[in-house]
């Protein structure tokens, strides 16, 4: 059985939280990013506009704080993208076309989406009607 002072957070000893201000700050920032992501997902579920919900879902997938190495291309079909946003494939199709018309995304012929403006996706629907 492990001793309490040998507990680990991932591969880093928990003792670093008390002895390394830089490590403690890194963990606090990571937890803040994750909590912010979860809170945004909950708020997004309450939105009624399909394209707003889809825009924010796509923007969250490409959050550089959570996924720093991710390329801005999502190689999924409309049904799978719709499931991520809690929408039917038909509503997803219509919302993707509207988002493409705004220039925030590009639809790829082989199925999938390329994000052109992540910040625009995250701000989509705030303070105005698209």
Q: What tens digit of pLDDT does each residue of 68-127 get?
A: 888 889 888 899 999 988 889 999 999 999 999 999 999 997 778 999 999 999 898 776
pLDDT, position 13: 65
* Closest residue by Cα to residue 73 from 114, 45, 120: 114
Q: Are 54 and 87 in contact (CB under 8 A)?
A: yes
Greater model confidence, 11 or 60:
60
Question: How far apart, in whole angstroms, are the C-alpha atoms of residue 6 and residue 38?
Answer: 29
Question: How far apart, in whole angstroms, are the C-alpha atoms of residue 101 and residue 94?
Answer: 11
**pTM for the structure as a whole:** 0.62
Token pair in block for residue 91: 């509503």
* Closest residue by Cα to residue 116 from 29, 55, 68, 66: 55
pLDDT, position 102: 94
Question: How far apart, in whole angstroms, are the C-alpha atoms of residue 18 and residue 4?
Answer: 14
Query: Residue ranges of the domains in the chain?
Result: 13-46, 49-130
pLDDT, position 67: 79
Question: How far apart, in whole angstroms, are the C-alpha atoms of residue 114 and residue 74?
Answer: 6
Q: Are 48 and 125 in contact (CB under 8 A)?
A: no
pLDDT of residue 29 exceeding 80, the answer is yes
Alpha-carbon distances of 125 from 30, 51, 105, 117, rounded to whole Å: 27, 8, 15, 14
Note the pLDDT tens digit of each residue in 37-58.
778 777 766 656 788 889 988 9
**Average pLDDT score over residue span 14-20:** 75
CATH code: domain 49-130 is 1.10.10.10
């Amino acid at each position: 059985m492990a001793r309490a002072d040998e507990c680990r957070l991932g591969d880093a000893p928990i003792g670093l939280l008390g002895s390394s201000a830089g490590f403690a700050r890194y963990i606090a920032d990571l937890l803040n990013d994750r909590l912010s992501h979860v809170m945004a997902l909950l708020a997004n579920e309450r939105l009624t506009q399909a394209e707003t919900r889809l825009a924010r879902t796509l923007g969250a997938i490409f959050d550089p704080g959570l996924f720093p190495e991710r390329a801005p291309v999502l190689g999924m079909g409309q049904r799978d993208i719709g499931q991520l946003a809690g929408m039917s494939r038909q509503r997803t199709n219509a919302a993707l076309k509207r988002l493409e018309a705004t220039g925030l995304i590009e639809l790829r012929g082989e199925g999938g989406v390329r994000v052109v403006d992540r910040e625009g996706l995250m701000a989509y629907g705030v303070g105005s009607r698209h």
